[in-house]
Structure 1
């Protein structure tokens, strides 16, 4: 029951996102992003060449940056406001639903 509900909610969510992505990812935006990523890659490669050999803090900086990236975003449960009432009898089965949401 809860797996079917999750699959239905994810399908609805993806359909909704695909409907709006065609407006966001237009031709000009994609071209600008392509040049931006290329420029950032070039600047990054040039900055790596200028770092000294004994730069020991690089590992700690990488750990802090990647740990900070873990906290960006939120849990996408795809629960709706009426679920607090109608899913109350299925509270024990909700654990599987939330596990799928955490993986998503």
Structure 2
């Protein structure tokens, strides 16, 4: 018997395992230190720019445009593979829970990006008002 929930859990764990392997290689010790220095420099210069922000700066427009671009970028991760086009075709009518979970996973990942951008741009709103 086909179980869509079990298939999603299996695909999600495979995806998470692959992602953790890549992140382990990307965030090795030296790269993390370099990224920390770059992020610290960016935060320092961002803070200095916030202190010198002009009075008539259109912060609402800048934030609206950037949030519009971030919100319109919405890749859906279904975690499907190429052979699924053939092998899951007979079980297509039972895939509703799988796609619901995949859409929920994509929504959570995208909301994280939106909240991160909103938190980064929040001081611009409060400094220009």
TM-score by length of structure 1 reads 0.86
Please list every run of at least 4 consecutive aligned residues from structure 1 whose deviation after the TM superposition is greater than 4 angstroms: none
CA drift at 1:89: 2.1
Alignment root-mean-square deviation, CA: 1.6
- Give the gaps of 5 or more residues in structure 2: 106-129
Higher helix residue share: 2
Q: Which of the pair has the greater relative contact order for Cα pairs under 8 Å at 6+ separation?
A: 1
**Residues 1:29 and 2:31 aligned together:** yes
- Give the gaps of 5 or more residues in structure 1: none
Determine the C-alpha separation between the residues in 2 that align with 1:38 and 1:4: 43
Determine the C-alpha separation between the residues in 1 that align with 2:49 and 2:28: 32
Q: How does 1:1-104 map to 2 (within 5 A)?
A: 1-55=3-57, 57-72=58-73, 74-104=75-105
CA drift at 1:67: 1.8
Aligned-partner SS, 2:53: coil
